[in-house]
Amino acid sequence: MKITEPTPGAPCWVELGTSDVASAAVYYRQVFGWHAEVEPRVEAGGYTLFSAGGAKVAAATALYAPGQQTAWTVTFATRDAEALAASVTEAGGKVLVAPRDVHDLGRFAVLADPAGAVLALWQAGSFAGAELLNAPGSLGWVELATDDAEAAVSFYTRIFGWTVRSHGTYAQWGIGGADFGGMSTAQARDREDVRPHWLPYFAVESVDGTAARAAESGGMLLMAPTDVPDGPRIAMVRDPQGAVFGIHQAGTEG
């Protein structure tokens, strides 16, 4: 079983904060074939929606805070942003941006877990979230890199009610019988300066082909296409502005 539409407690959207939205739009078109459309309202500040086959799958926005790093932010659906934000504080996390409305589209908040990994919440209004999930060109998996797995399990199971399944040294997050993500320890990463974070993986028809396009278009392969034991074929990429994302073979989620 896999999640194919926005579901409370599960990833529903992914947003790129970048120093150059226009260049990012060109890059991700070359890598995934995404079509970019700039939100026409002036107050949207150039917010750019990415679509795959006519379905909205992600977005990009300019950096808005001093010192903000170029990065992808994973957003999780909730029925009540206010209540969930309150539970985050009680569980030891932080509310970085308090719940607020985005026109009639919905209500969002930005949070950090106890280790500092940033995530966002989305309470749907007229916009539920990604119109395509777990299909080529769309978000298919999310992964938490953390330096305290025990604290992460305690935090996320408390605020979202996630299930946790262990596969050796790797744990998988799930909800309603469907696994949508995993967890690895930050110490296992190849750089000591990597802070706890959430990483999106996009489903693709060919990991090798997509990885080649990602590199040829100006990105850097942080992990060449690799077969995970008893898992999917994956690769990890840093885009030209520095945002990191993963790709995995479509149809191998969970």
CA distance 254 to 252: 6
Encoding tokens for residue 27?
């890059």
* 23 and 108 inside one domain: yes
* 48 and 103 inside one domain: yes
Q: Which of 94, 124, 154 is the last residue of a domain?
A: 124
In a domain, 90, yes or no: yes
Q: How many structural domains is the chain composed of?
A: 2
Q: What are the backbone dihedrals phi and psi of residue 212, each rounded to the nearest 5 degrees, phi first?
A: -65, -45
In a domain, 171, yes or no: yes
Please answer whether residues 134 and 253 qualify as being in contact, where contact means their C-beta atoms are separated by less than 8 angstroms. Answer: yes
In a domain, 133, yes or no: no
CA distance 72 to 58: 10
* 53 and 119 inside one domain: yes
pLDDT tens over the chain, length 254 residues = 588 899 999 999 999 999 999 999 999 999 999 999 998 765 656 799 999 999 999 999 999 877 888 999 999 999 999 999 999 999 999 999 999 999 899 999 999 999 999 999 999 999 999 999 999 999 999 999 999 999 999 999 999 999 999 877 789 999 988 999 999 875 544 545 578 999 999 999 999 999 999 999 999 999 999 999 888 999 999 999 999 999 999 976 55
Which pLDDT belongs to residue 188?
47
CA distance 49 to 38: 6
Q: Which of 124, 154, 174 is the last residue of a domain?
A: 124
In a domain, 97, yes or no: yes
* 165 and 89 inside one domain: no
* 145 and 100 inside one domain: no
* 99 and 164 inside one domain: no
In a domain, 130, yes or no: no
**Strand 139-146 and strand 118-124: pairing?**
unpaired
In a domain, 214, yes or no: yes
Q: Which of 124, 149, 170 is the last residue of a domain?
A: 124
In a domain, 147, yes or no: yes
* 24 and 98 inside one domain: yes
Which pLDDT belongs to residue 1?
56
Q: The CATH number of the domain where 205 resides is what?
A: 3.10.180.10
**Which among 125, 143, 87 is positioned nearest to 6, based on CA atoms?**
125
**Amino acid (1-letter code) at residue 241:** Q
Nearby residues of 254 by Cβ (< 8 Å), 6 or more positions away: 1, 2, 172, 174, 178, 179, 180
Nearby residues of 24 by Cβ (< 8 Å), 6 or more positions away: 16, 18, 60, 239, 240, 241, 243
In a domain, 134, yes or no: no
* 180 and 149 inside one domain: yes
Structural domain boundaries enclosing 16 = 11-124
* 81 and 158 inside one domain: no
**Amino acid (1-letter code) at residue 91:** A
* 36 and 106 inside one domain: yes
* 148 and 230 inside one domain: yes
* 144 and 194 inside one domain: yes
Which pLDDT belongs to residue 167?
73
Q: Is the pTM of this model over 0.85?
A: yes
